[in-house]
Amino acid sequence: MQLRSVINQALTLLHESSPRGQTLRFILFLVLYFFTRYSRLFLDTSSFGQALLNPLHERLSFFITHFCCFLLQGFYPDIHVTINHTIIIAGKATVQMFPGCTGLPPMIRLTIILVFYPLAWRRKVVLWPLSMLILIIAATLHFMMLIPIAYHYPAWYHFAHSWPTRVIFYACYFLCWLLWEKAILLRRTK
């Protein structure tokens, strides 16, 4: 019986709308983030994981590369995409979309985190597509910012890929968490 009362107390603390509750939910978010980040290694090495993720990577790569080319045609009229998701500008291979660049691993992580996050399921059903849309937009912006850098300043590509664009991507991750927190606060005020 003591275990049940400890679990109930922990759940009560998680559902508080106080700063303590928000801090606990943020810690839960971080713990789930790191757990899912390292458990993803299993999916990347198993044949089940490859069969599940490869088609999703292909579809996301196709969407992001073609959408970026569509948006950048005003600046680079001779931009196009090859079948292996390489962006070509004026005959020069500029950037290639690799599976990790699609934003699929963060989308999987965010989905698992949302499943275990202390929200009502009806709110999760609404927040999940919104969170996925935010991450798709972030992945597209990440890739779209890297294309001109790789074309005009190839020496700066690795820095830009590792720091500024990644910070923007994780800011979008944080935005998703803020949306979830707003949903919790809305639940408390009704």
Report DSSP letters for 2-37, one per residue.
HHHHHHHHHHHHHT--SHHHHHHHHHHHHHHHHHHH
Q: pLDDT, tens digit, for every residue of 121-158? A: 888 999 999 999 999 999 999 999 999 999 999 999 99
Separation of alpha carbons 108 and 54, rounded Å: 13
Confidence of residue 44 (pLDDT cuts 50, 70, 90): low
Q: Side by side, which strands form the sheet with 92-96?
A: 79-81, 86-89, 92-96
Q: Which domain holds residue 60?
A: 2-189
**Global pTM value:** 0.83
Q: How many domains does the chain have?
A: 1
> Using an 8 Å Cβ cutoff, are 19 and 181 in contact?
no
Q: How far is CA 161 from CA 45, 127, 149, in A?
A: 25, 28, 9
Least confidently predicted of 6-10, 90-94, 107-111, 175-179: 6-10
Per-residue tokens: 24: 């606990």
